[in-house]
Homo-oligomer: A and B are copies of this chain.
């Protein structure tokens, strides 16, 4: 380990890692593609709207684009708004084990910097990879006690990742990088109590903004504590009851947390993924018509019933964890996208009638992550489908083409005036791009 402890080691890694492997860079592109996808959907949300209205009013020099918007903002404000948009629907990426959403805090500071300071596409990808590495390693060290205690890990650990990524792109040396992590530590915030309310987004937006702010302050010469992560009153000891310090640095620079990243195919709780897939398979049967459905049964492990047995969700946010609603949407519309989990879809009386015919049962034989959906038709015929590993699981990741399709779909949903094709092409060509400064503009109607 680097002399000086984990904070120094993480800082040295973020400042100096000579080379990020090609497969990690490729995963960085996939994560960025998924981030632009959910950002293009989230830019239209009400929480993002309030953030734009207030933060925009106080924006400084307007050099940075925000995803899905024609107007520009100062880099700190753009980082804030993009993190809000990427995360607001919880449809962004997930780091297994910590349930941290890695991209929302880390990508936005890099987009904002790339527009005002020269950065190659490769430098942007490398900065993204080291930022995700730092935030996920700190998250590993405080898991599972940190989230369980009530800390929204995406926001609290994200600010360190944002600082590391921004510091890397700014070219901070290891000493200044450590100060950037120290200044980030003073800003780590975010409570689980805010989940389900718009306030969640302010925590995530601040993680991106304040990480960038920390890196810029360190660049200017501001100093932080020597051991912000592991010190006696530092981040991991204060925010977790039983932190594991070894996870901060074990295999640092050899293994990459980004390679464990996962992407959601559906905008709802992950326990519903196999349910939706099984129901979509039934709806795709030749001759299937939803009007012929008499009743349906969902079977899964106890966890599925605990989390998702909700026959009458009141609004879209609750429907995201309703197995009854998920089955109804898959059977009625053969889709399970943002529109199917919006308030209007939940209020539809045809959907309500079908939800009432869906029962959730515990089947102790089924492992967590698996589900069976069985539909009984009006004539007594039955169709059943079992899914053991849904798409989006670590073992069955979304393909590159599926992530592209997600971007096209979410752009249509939230920012129909944005043409997704040039953005998709630019993302794939990032490793060879001499300047990444054009990227954010491609995600706006101004392009």
A residues lining the B interface (CB < 8 Å): 47, 50-51, 53-55, 57-61, 74-77, 149-152, 155, 179, 182-183, 185-194, 196-200, 202-203, 206, 210, 213-214, 216-217, 220-225, 227-228, 231-235, 237-238
Decide if A191 touches B197 in the complex (CB within 8 Å).
no
10 residue pairs of the A-B complex, CB under 8 angstroms, read: A54-B216, A54-B217, A149-B238, A183-B198, A185-B193, A186-B189, A187-B202, A194-B224, A194-B225, A202-B213
Chain A interface SS verdict (over half): helix
The 5 closest A-B pairs by CB, nearest first: A150-B233, A150-B238, A189-B189, A199-B224, A186-B203
Shortest distance between the CB of A232 and any CB in chain B (Å): 7
Say whether, besides A58-B60, A58-B75, A60-B57, A191 and B238 are in contact (CB < 8 Å). Answer: yes
Q: Pick from B192, B198, B223: contact of A199, CB below 8 A.
A: B223
A53 to B193 CA separation, bound complex (whole angstroms): 35
For A63, the closest partner residue in chain B by CB is B58
Decide if A186 touches B194 in the complex (CB within 8 Å).
yes
For A192, the closest partner residue in chain B by CB is B233
Knowing that A57-B60, A186-B189, A197-B223 touch, tell me 6 more A-B residue pairs with CB under 8 angstroms. Answer: A155-B186, A185-B193, A187-B202, A193-B235, A197-B224, A199-B224
Say whether, besides A57-B60, A191-B234, A234-B193, A199 and B227 are in contact (CB < 8 Å). Answer: no
Say whether, besides A199-B186, A203-B186, A54 and B233 are in contact (CB < 8 Å). Answer: no
Decide if A197 touches B217 in the complex (CB within 8 Å).
no
Decide if A51 touches B233 in the complex (CB within 8 Å).
no
CB neighbours of A233 from chain B (8 A): 150, 191-193
CB neighbours of A76 from chain B (8 A): 58
Decide if A225 touches B197 in the complex (CB within 8 Å).
yes
CB neighbours of A238 from chain B (8 A): 149-151, 191-193
CB neighbours of A55 from chain B (8 A): 213
A351 to B334 CA separation, bound complex (whole angstroms): 82
Decide if A199 touches B185 in the complex (CB within 8 Å).
yes
For A56, the closest partner residue in chain B by CB is B60
Say whether, besides A60-B57, A60-B60, A150-B237, A193 and B227 are in contact (CB < 8 Å). Answer: yes
Decide if A202 touches B214 in the complex (CB within 8 Å).
yes
Decide if B193 touches A231 in the complex (CB within 8 Å).
yes
Shortest distance between the CB of A228 and any CB in chain B (Å): 6
Q: Pick from B77, B187, B194, B206: contact of A228, CB below 8 A.
A: B194
CB neighbours of A200 from chain B (8 A): 186
Decide if A213 touches B54 in the complex (CB within 8 Å).
yes
Shortest distance between the CB of A356 and any CB in chain B (Å): 29
CB neighbours of A186 from chain B (8 A): 152, 155, 189-191, 194, 199-200, 202-203, 206
Decide if B189 touches A47 in the complex (CB within 8 Å).
no
Shortest distance between the CB of A65 and any CB in chain B (Å): 15
CB neighbours of A206 from chain B (8 A): 186-187, 210
For A47, the closest partner residue in chain B by CB is B222
Decide if A198 touches B213 in the complex (CB within 8 Å).
no
CB neighbours of A210 from chain B (8 A): 206
CB neighbours of A225 from chain B (8 A): 193-194, 196-197, 199
A103 to B222 CA separation, bound complex (whole angstroms): 24
A223 to B45 CA separation, bound complex (whole angstroms): 13
A440 to B156 CA separation, bound complex (whole angstroms): 34
A233 to B54 CA separation, bound complex (whole angstroms): 27
CB neighbours of A193 from chain B (8 A): 185, 225, 227-228, 231-235, 238
Decide if A50 touches B221 in the complex (CB within 8 Å).
yes
CB neighbours of A155 from chain B (8 A): 186
CB neighbours of A228 from chain B (8 A): 191, 193-194, 199
CB neighbours of A188 from chain B (8 A): 189, 191
Say whether, besides A47-B222, A151-B238, A191-B234, A183 and B196 are in contact (CB < 8 Å). Answer: no
